[in-house]
Chains A and B, each alone.
Chain A
């Protein structure tokens, strides 16, 4: 938690608290308070022209009012929110390089994570159980070397958080201010903030709007060296994150999907356009130039291996199909599948079907 801000940082925080100003106007406003002579007047004139004399002067008064500043900083401190401003040493370099970097990042949790190497993991709310399990698993492995950045939503985002949470190397980027945290994910978000970090470019009271989800996606892409899309339908928010990442010159990766899976069409389209195909954490580590000790294959008995082989062979496989292929009774298949599930090698995908992960 940062309690001391330099005068420059304070100025940024105060200016950012003016909800009546747009991003550009905030920049002009800061310029009009910072610069000297003509330039200063130039920006002031623009603001007066667009906002009107009264509003501008009021804001100027507010800006120099130390009581107002105290109030703003107090309310942030009360919420345990630290501000990482554009002028702060903690502000991630990657994010500075995007066209419209947030002036202030409102952060709650372990702000040191911002200076880690980061990878974004995004996907759609409606994903296959297999993709979700795979997403959790890969995020768990990624955290050995990287910090995972994602949003807060059902489906892929939640799966990513669950996978990365144990290590604490997780950053969740919110679509609105911290106060407007969605009730459905309150407990998940609380866990993230306890071990990892949540950030937002909006002051606490700002409510998430439709368009802010897209703005948020630019931060997810901007914060990270690469973006992994675990699931995306033809039209999906995850694709906007991917396109931001591509615009910023970051790597884009996607899970491959078999034909006809609606929640994977977007991913396949990305790969077609040149995104990296990602099957496991190693694909990401190699892209980031990281090395990882090779994991040994799990220890399986002969019959476990047979069942596992049958499941790996066919995507989603029904229990009676496994029984047929392996020649075992359905009961044995059920027991072995439970064991493989406990070992984390397979998952149930519904309707008594299993898939390898």
Chain B
């Protein structure tokens, strides 16, 4: 007899329905699995065999042919165990219930328990779009499914339970829908801006960076709290909307990094080590293409500590996603696009020994060493980092520790206000949400400079020997500062403050 069960394959973040067809015929005892299965799928036979037997059922002793259609897509992962097992049980007439239109996913343990699999959320979302309404997934993945409305998801614990459910012997209620807002309220970041003493200049720069979606480079001697500051960035970013949270969760679900919550309610903060390869940053893999760090930092912060220490090719690979907000990875097997709309926060020492500009320690680097160190970060990459700011030497902690520092919530309120101004401004522009996304055209349109501001910019260029590309960066940052100020016009003081955040251009010129 022939049976068909529906399952799903993942290509990048998108799902494709897969028909699991099983045919059992008289003939020599054989088990044939076709349809481009990878090693994990091929090995499923042993798991299925034991799981069926240990669930008190019979593994047919006949010629069994399992086909995963469409036959031209590679099938990867362990989530085909359940659909294949059910399909075999139906083909051997141990199960009579109709399973049409039910999408099944799950890995089997030898005793018949269902184990968690990756990418459930991505599958649910694309299957819902394709019109599927009913799903059976492992109970360990239930949390992930509880935020999708309009579908019926069952999360049994064992193969036996799946059979009972299908046969109607047991009533299992579908996974209850949870409200994202409720979950989001429960989780909090474990750091806060008011824990960072001093560093007022850097904090202000971070506020501007977050408000306008700008990338930022922190430079300062080692041990001055660059990492601590960076960790606080997510705490002043606007809360994630449900749509954003789903995007992030989908990526982490596919890469198998999703926690128990089932949804990511906090903005991600990723810190790849500087030995990271291009593939680990951008995504890749030879048969199954998985998201890299920049996609896992989607809607959050990618913190690159010691920027010049990263390999040149890894840094250069960041340029295109920084521009487009997505990354397309092409391999011989096909191309996959992952979202990668992140805020880059990079940090570096001012020189190889780290003491350049320090008042307490002596820098032992020669100017040519410093030039060489800084030149490791290429101009095109720096072009995409709008704010470059110096972090204070630790000695200043004592100086300003008596001042009460602002909490993240206060800063966040200002950021959100500035963001709403920008939403209003870019309502009619597609693909532009924040000031940092502006191109030359939009700068002309939305950043009108008074003659006074123009004069300041011009003299700044002559005096501080700025590069031409620094101009549009300064204007964009000035626009954000004006937005934070709730000022429609960009005023001279906004331009002046923006001019202050281009430390890298000017001090490099003075060496």
Contacts and interface: CB of A to CB of B under 8 A. Distances in A.
A45 interface: no
A159 B429 CA distance: 46
Chain A's interface size range is: 35 or more
Interface in B214-246: 220-221
B359 A351 contact: yes
A338 B399 contact: no
B500 A334 contact: yes
B506 A348 contact: yes
Contacts of A338: 460, 496-497, 499-500
Interface residues of B, number: 38
A320 interface: yes
Interface in A41-79: none
B362 to A, nearest CB: 6
A342 B204 CA distance: 21
B201 A319 contact: yes
Contact of B400 (A184, A320, A343): A320
A351 B362 contact: no
A316 B359 contact: yes
B503 interface: yes
B194 interface: no
Interface centre among B221, B356, B358, B499 (most CB of A within 10 A): B499
Interface in A324-343: 324, 330-332, 334-339, 341-343
Contact of A132 (B368, B460, B510): B510
Interface in A160-200: 184
A351 B497 contact: no
B350 interface: yes
Contact of A336 (B220, B464, B496): B496
A351 B393 contact: yes
Nearest to B221: A351
A204 interface: no
B497 A348 contact: no
A225 B356 CA distance: 35
B194 to A, nearest CB: 16
A331 B464 contact: no
Contacts of B23: none
A184 B507 CA distance: 18
Given A126-B366, A336-B496, A342-B456, A350 B400 contact: no
Contacts of B366: 125-126, 154
A126 B198 CA distance: 30
A320 B359 CA distance: 15
Contact of B368 (A154, A159, A330, A343): A154
A342 B201 contact: no
Given A341-B463, A350-B507, A335 B358 contact: no
Interface of B: 198, 200-201, 204, 220-221, 350, 356-359, 362-363, 366-368, 390-393, 396, 399-400, 456, 459-460, 463-464, 493, 496-497, 499-500, 503, 506-507, 510-511
9 contacts: A126-B363, A154-B367, A330-B201, A334-B496, A339-B456, A341-B463, A342-B459, A342-B460, A347-B510
The 5 closest A-B pairs by CB, nearest first: A350-B357, A154-B367, A335-B496, A338-B496, A338-B499
